[in-house]
Amino acid sequence: MSHRHRSRWGACLAGIAGALRAAAALAAHGTLTLVPGVGLAPPAGLNGFNPLLVSSAYDQQAAGLMFQPLLWIDRHLTVRYAWSIAQSVRVTDHDRRFTIVLKHHWLWSDGRPVTARDVAFTYHLIQQLGPRFPNYGAGGMPTDVTALRIVNRHELTVTTKRPVNPRWFTLNGLSLLVPLPARAWSRFSIPALYDHMTDLRFFRRVDGPYHLTAFAPGRYAVFTANRRYSGPDRPHIRRLVFRFLKSPESVFFALRAHRLQLGNLPMALYRGRRALRGFRAYPVGPVWGFNSLGFDYANPRIAFIRDPRVRQAFMHAINQDELITVLAGGHGMRDYGPIPPHPPTFLSRTARRLEVTGAYDPARARRLLKAAGWRRDGHAVRRKNGVRLAFTAYVVPGDVRAPILIKDMLARIGVDMHLREKPFNEIVAATGNPRNTHWQAVFLAWGLSPYPSVGNIFACGAANNDYHYCNPRLDRLLRAITTPGAHRALARFQNVFTQEQPVIVLPEQPIIVEVARTLRGLHQAFSPLGGFNPAALWFAKTGRRP
Mean pLDDT of 474-503: 91
Residues 437-451 have pLDDT tens digits of: 999 999 998 888 888
User: Strand, coil or helix: what is 464?
Assistant: coil
Residues 103-112 have pLDDT tens digits of: 999 999 999 9
Question: Is residue 369 domain-resident?
Answer: yes
How many domains does the chain divide into?
A: 1
Residues 398-439 have pLDDT tens digits of: 788 899 999 999 999 999 999 999 988 899 899 988 888 999
Mean pLDDT of 101-129: 97
Question: Is residue 404 domain-resident?
Answer: yes
Mean pLDDT of 120-147: 94
User: Strand, coil or helix: what is 148?
Assistant: strand
Structure-model confidence comparison of residues 397 and 119, the more confident one: 119
pLDDT of residue 197: 95
Contact 34, 262 (CB under 8 A): yes
Question: Is residue 435 domain-resident?
Answer: yes
Question: Is residue 130 domain-resident?
Answer: no
Please report the DSSP string for 188-222 in residue order.
--HHHHHHTTT-TGGG----SSEEEEEEETTTEEE
Question: Is residue 533 domain-resident?
Answer: no
Count other Cβ atoms within 10 Å, centred on residue 542. Answer: 7
Work out the mean pLDDT of the chain and round it to a whole number: 89
Of 102, 44, 13, 149, give the one whose Cα is nearest residue 426: 44
Lowest mean pLDDT among 72-76, 174-178, 472-476: 72-76
Residues 482-491 have pLDDT tens digits of: 998 777 889 9
Any residues with CB less than 8 A from the CB of 28 and at least 6 apart, and which? 225, 234, 235, 236, 237, 238
CA distance 289 to 74: 15
Residues 15-53 have pLDDT tens digits of: 323 333 333 333 456 999 999 989 888 888 999 999 999
The letter for the amino acid at 329 is G
The letter for the amino acid at 131 is P
Q: 501 — alpha (psi -120 to 50), left (phi > 0) or beta?
A: left
Question: Is residue 154 domain-resident?
Answer: no
pLDDT of residue 35: 95
Examine the pLDDT at 527 and tell me if it is beyond 50.
Answer: yes
Helices 472-481 and 487-500: angle between axes, nearest 10 degrees: 150
Examine the pLDDT at 6 and tell me if it is beyond 50.
Answer: no
The helix (run of H) or strand (run of E) holding residue 17 is helix 11-26
Question: Is residue 460 domain-resident?
Answer: yes
pTM: 0.79
pLDDT of residue 542: 60
Contact 512, 329 (CB under 8 A): no
Any residues with CB less than 8 A from the CB of 404 and at least 6 apart, and which? 419
Contact 240, 34 (CB under 8 A): yes
The letter for the amino acid at 179 is P
Structure-model confidence comparison of residues 13 and 212, the more confident one: 212
Examine the pLDDT at 13 and tell me if it is beyond 90.
Answer: no
pLDDT of residue 243: 97
The letter for the amino acid at 414 is G
CATH code (residue 451): 3.10.105.10
Structure-model confidence comparison of residues 546 and 262, the more confident one: 262
Determine the straight-line distance between the first and last CA of the chain, rounded to whole angstroms: 27
pLDDT of residue 530: 67
Residues 297-344 have pLDDT tens digits of: 999 999 999 999 999 999 999 999 999 998 877 878 899 999 988 778
Examine the pLDDT at 85 and tell me if it is beyond 70.
Answer: yes
Lowest mean pLDDT among 242-246, 270-274, 317-321, 511-515: 270-274
Chain length of the chain: 546
Of 342, 337, 360, 356, give the one whose Cα is nearest residue 494: 337
Q: What is the DSSP letter of 57?
A: H
Structure-model confidence comparison of residues 126 and 29, the more confident one: 126
Contact 484, 499 (CB under 8 A): no
pLDDT of residue 341: 86
Report long-range pairs for 280-284 (Cβ below 8 Å, ≥24 apart): 280/514, 280/515, 280/517, 280/546, 281/512, 281/513, 281/514, 281/515, 282/512, 282/513, 282/514, 282/515, 282/522, 283/331, 283/510, 283/511, 283/512, 283/513, 284/39, 284/510, 284/511, 284/512, 284/513, 284/526
Contact 512, 283 (CB under 8 A): yes
Phi, psi of 210 (to 5 degrees): -135, 160
Examine the pLDDT at 274 and tell me if it is beyond 80.
Answer: yes
Examine the pLDDT at 131 and tell me if it is beyond 80.
Answer: yes
Q: What is the DSSP letter of 138?
A: G
Bridge partners, 289 (sequence order): 447
Contact 239, 233 (CB under 8 A): no
Q: Which of 19-28, 61-70, 134-143, 452-461 is predicted most confidently?
A: 61-70
Examine the pLDDT at 528 and tell me if it is beyond 80.
Answer: no
Any residues with CB less than 8 A from the CB of 353 and at least 6 apart, and which? none
**Structural domain of 462:** 289-506
Question: Is residue 466 domain-resident?
Answer: yes
User: Strand, coil or helix: what is 91?
Assistant: strand
